[in-house]
Amino acid sequence: MTCRVTSRAISGVVVIDLSGRLDFLEVSLREEVQKLLGQGSREFVINLADVPYVDSFGLGQLITVWTSIKRAGGKMTLLWPTPQVLKLFELTKLDTVFTIWNEEHHVVGFRRHAAS
């Protein structure tokens, strides 16, 4: 199952919706973020609600994307990780690195938080 990547803007924040497995050789998220960074976007929310599985390569891709955004002066937040994915973040201690939200209404206020 391929990971489907779509993006939309809400109040100046890019929300990237993922659907499917984020695993080996799946680079569509990284490509989408690079494209959006090239267009000047700096505030991102990655919606993981429809991602049932992330392997080590998928974790690496999330870290790479987070690093690219941070180096460009931006911010990234993860939204609605499934229980399995959240457990993986906890086991790898990435829950202490990534900002993780479980409510989309935070997206609207994200610009205020991104400035701090």
Helices (H), the chain: 28-38, 56-71, 83-91, 105-108, 110-115
- Which 8-state DSSP code applies to residue 102? S
Tokens of 38: 């090239």
pTM of structure: 0.86
In what helix (H) or strand (E) does residue 49 lie, and over which residues does it extend?
Answer: strand 43-50
Segment 53-112, tens digit of pLDDT: 999 999 999 999 999 999 999 999 999 999 999 999 999 999 999 999 886 556 555 544
Please say whether the dihedral angle defined by the alpha carbons of residues 81, 85, 91 and 92, taken in this order, is positive or negative. Answer: negative
Q: Output the pLDDT for position 27.
A: 86
> Where do the structural domains in the chain lie, given as residue ranges?
4-115
Q: Please state which CATH class domain 4-115 belongs to.
A: alpha beta
By the 8 A CB rule, do 18 and 48 touch? Answer: yes
